[in-house]
Amino acid sequence: MLHFIRPELFERIVPPALPAPRLLVLLSGAAEVAGGLGLLLPATRRAAGWGLLALLAAVFPANVYMVGLAGALHIPAWVLWARLPLQPLLLWLVWRAALRRG
């Protein structure tokens, strides 16, 4: 929900090569909410899982870009570096919750 309440926080980490940072922040926030809600219903769980996997892949460049902004964001660089390996964990958790068979 923070994507909608304080979008400027997320706009700062959108890589400058990407167009329309505000729109991208709002779309990614909507995708997160829709994906999370979609996981709750068995009928939509599989589609939500694929959508969330795509979203995690799409936002990874922003996570990498954020490492270079550590000083400007007043966040220790080690914290931002430590976040990067969490991405595969999140991918696995989504796969396990939504796509794993049996």
The two tokens of residue 29 are 């926030």
Number of independent structural domains in the chain: 1
Strands of the chain (E only): list them: none
57 in Cβ contact with 33 (< 8 Å): no
Q: For 35, phi and psi rounded to 5 degrees?
A: -65, -45
Structural domain that includes position 18 = 2-99
pLDDT confidence of residue 99: 87
- The verdict on pTM exceeding 0.75 is yes
pLDDT in tens, the chain (102 residues): 999 999 998 999 999 999 999 999 999 999 999 999 999 999 999 999 999 999 999 999 999 999 999 999 999 999 999 999 999 999 999 999 998 875
Number of residues assigned to the chain:
102
Close Cβ partners of 24 (under 8 Å, ≥ 6 residues apart): 14, 18
- Is the CA virtual torsion 72, 73, 74, 79 positive or negative? negative
Task: Give the model's pLDDT for residue 102.
Answer: 55
